[in-house]
Amino acid sequence: MLNAWNVLVSQSNYPDLYQIDDKDSMLAKNLYNAAMFRIRQTFTGWDKTNRTDHENEVFEEIRITKQKHPDLKIKRVLSYKALDKILRATKNPDYFAGLPMQTAEAVVHQAVNDFSSWLKALRDYKKNPTKYTGKPRMPKYRKGNRATFVFTNQDAVLYHEDDKRQDSAILKIPGVPKSKKLTLFGIPTVGILKQITVTPMYGRFMMSFIMEDCAPPVYPDLPNLAGLDFGTDNIAALACTDGSSVVCKGGAVLSENRLFSKGVSKKTG
């Protein structure tokens, strides 16, 4: 069983961790756009006789990569393997800008998956156009200065140090000096850390710790416990041990959203 434990990181509560998240999220954004750039230019320039300057730039990188890896198969839709080889063969500066290698690879995977999802949606749109408010659009570049990224459990480690607090843990991630300890509160030390997802949130970062076989902490001094689950058909389901559980239906919200989407679609074309 997997559980997610969230920690909101700001400059005031975890300044050292904030600096690491801030730097890596900017590098992740740049790398995502670099990967998406090569995917898009390969796709649009594949059958062209007269390519754009950007397309020629990418196809020159493909030529260099093929020289180093003659057996590599490169298709119009770049696979992760092909894109990874291109970035490595050309020593792409965004790929080697300082992100942990596992994190950088995950960012490239995300770009490849986003493009594949678009193609899948496009094929489905041709068969079932009424399911959509408009024709699916090719994935765009990330705007802003930061993007979501992950630390894998090959780079991130949680360990317990204080026997008096069972909900605090020491976090070790790339970028933290060995002389410093990053103590986080609200994180259990039982279970296996699988990965950490770091999401920019209005000048702060939400770090989601994905733990396996991790039981929720027990607080004997609290009279009741509650659990909240967000969804689509049901906007939220709240279960509480005092018997005041409730389900909030999402039909009205979904209906309003469909009407809004149709209106936007008509205006944009």
How many other C-beta atoms lie within 10 A of the C-beta of residue 238?
A: 13
The pLDDT of residue 224: 75
**DSSP label at residue 170:** E
Q: How many CA atoms lie within 13 A of 4 on its CB side?
A: 11
Phi, psi of 234 (to 5 degrees): -110, 115
Res 217 pLDDT > 60: no
Query: 4-46: per-residue pLDDT in tens?
Result: 888 899 999 999 999 999 999 999 999 999 999 999 999 999 9
Query: 93-105: per-residue pLDDT in tens?
Result: 999 999 999 999 9
Residue type, 116: S
**Distance of alpha carbon 64 from alpha carbon 97, whole angstroms:** 21
Please give the structure tokens belonging to residue 178: 């060995």
Query: 161-207: per-residue pLDDT in tens?
Result: 665 556 678 889 888 877 777 888 877 767 788 999 999 998 999 99
Reference 30, options 98, 126, 80; nearest CA is 98
**Every domain of the chain and the residues it spans:** 24-131, 218-269
Size (the chain), residues: 269
